[in-house]
Structure 1
Amino acid sequence: MMSQPAAILGPQYCVPQVVDIAIVRKVMSLADGSFVVTDANDNILFKVKGRFFSIHDRRVLVDAAGNPLVTLTEKIMSAHDRWQAFRGESTDPKDLIFTVKRSSMIQLKTKLHVFLSTNTTNEHVCDFRIEGSWLERSCVVYAGESNNVVAQMHKKHSVQSVLLGKDKFMVTVYPNVDYAFIAAIIVILDGINKDDSGD
């Protein structure tokens, strides 16, 4: 486990215990905010607003009060499905927090690399990596190239969620890991895989 808290979007999202968050996606919704992130008691932590069907995929993660935390944009014409995350509603390079890209062009399983804006290795050494199967909602987030798990996804099927047309899965975020950052990564993961599945 990480020894020091890794505050990426904010220290208030780093807590000393495990945090279970639920990602609820309305399957048939084309409207704004078709993505909600709740805690284990169904309290809304974050919502995702965005233009999902425009040429330029852009999503904004907002807190429960509607304050924008991070803007996630897909970089058009990039070879490795590159996404960038900016502070608040900015898309200014000086407000870049992190970049996510596929580790290779052709992938059977999900494998993404996350580079924080403070990373000076010119994208040779990633700060976090995501591996697993998005289809099965079983991805794991690791710290850098290590085997230290910082977050893990689990699929949660229920008759109710199927009837309501919702896709719900749980993410366990380990202690002292920024759970808002993990939520932002999941939103990007969804964006990258939406392109693959054509859904």
Structure 2
Amino acid sequence: MALVQLPPVPQPIGVFPQFTAQRTETLILKEKVMSLSGDSFDIKTVDGRPIFKVKGDAFSLSGRKAVSDMQDNHLFDIRQRHLTMHSTYYCEDPSGNEFFEVKNKIRFLSSKAVATFISAGTGKQESLLMKGNFFDSRAEIVDESTGNLVAVIDRKFMNASELLFSQQTYALTVAPGVDMALMVAMCIALDEHRNEG
């Protein structure tokens, strides 16, 4: 059961059709406590079904995070682009081809980021705006061409282990018709940007 219900988008948005939400889906991204590999996350649906794995590489200069499905199929890596004016993250497929970019913009007491990619189903250039209060780690992701809300990120699930171990937990609610894997990438870019501050 989802925490928030989002209306479906008019056309599918994403790169991985097999991970398109069929109904409003809420995913819980929980950072692994004391992970030796860097920022690693367990990602499950709100009802407890595992859906993705994210494994960080502590020794990578670009903060590489490998995203896999539950059958250990490597989907993509999330990396940070260095020597840019604003924090920029990108995704590359297992062959090293870039297909997704998130650029952060600086605003007073809040942040926004723009993600760009080509949607698999339509071949359309997509631009998603992520905006909100990144200090509280709440953000909305909106399709810039239609104004439709496609996802909501919320970090209101703080508990004692987060305080003790600096562990992060996010609820990511994804609208029907939207690629859950790409929304996970945007949530992780938010977490990385937050950790920079």
Match of 2:131 in 1: 131
1:11-160 correspondence to structure 2 within 5 Å: 11-32=17-38, 34-52=40-58, 54-87=60-93, 89-91=94-96, 95-103=97-105, 105=106, 107-117=108-118, 127-144=127-144, 146-154=146-154, 155-158=156-159
The one-letter code matched in structure 1 to 2:10 is S
TM-score with structure 1 setting the length: 0.80
| Structure 1 gaps, min length 5 | 119-124
Q: Which amino acid aligns with 1:131?
A: K
Which consecutive segments of 4 or more residues in structure 1 shift more than 6 A? none
Verify: 1:3 aligned to 2:3, yes or no: no
Q: Which one-letter code corresponds to 1:69 in the other structure?
A: L
- One-letter amino acid matched to 1:71: D
Q: Distance in 1 between matches of 2:166 and 2:56?
A: 20
Contact 2:142 2:149 in 1 (8 A): yes
Q: Is the 8 A contact 1:73 1:84 kept in 2?
A: yes
The offset of 1:29, in angstroms, is 3.3
Task: Decide whether aligned partners of structure 1 residues 80 and 165 sit closer, same or farther in structure 2, where only a CA change above 3 A counts.
Answer: closer
Distance 1:149 1:52 in 2: 34
SS at match of 2:168: strand
SS in structure 2 at match of 1:73: strand
Q: CA deviation at 1:5?
A: 1.4
The AA in structure 1 aligned to 2:187 is I
Deviations 1:51-72 (A, max 9, x none): 2464322111111122111111
1-structure distance, mates of 2:51, 2:162: 19
| Paired letter, 1:194 | N
Distance 2:58 2:187 in 1: 15
Flag the 1:172–1:106 CA change in 2: closer, same or farther, 3 A: closer
Q: Which whole-Å CA distance do the structure 1 matches of 2:181 and 2:92 have between them?
A: 13
1:129–1:145 contact (8 Å) kept in structure 2? no
How far 1:163 sits from its partner (Å)?
6.9
- Superposition deviation, residue 109 in structure 1: 1.0
Write the distance in 1 (CA, Å) between the matches of 2:28 and 2:80: 24
Give the CA deviation at 1:146.
Answer: 4.6
Q: What residue ranges of structure 2 are gaps of 5+ in the alignment?
A: 1-7, 120-124
The farther-off stretch of 24-33 and 140-149 is: 24-33
Alignment TM-score, normalising by the size of structure 2: 0.81
**Identical-residue share of aligned pairs (%):** 24
1:166 and 1:183 map into 2 onto residues whose CA distance is 17
Query: Separation in 2 of the partners of 1:156 and 1:40?
Result: 12
CA contact (8 A) 2:101 2:115 kept: yes
What is the Cα deviation at residue 34 of structure 1?
2.5
Give, in whole Å, the separation in 2 of the partners of 1:194 and 1:165.
Answer: 10
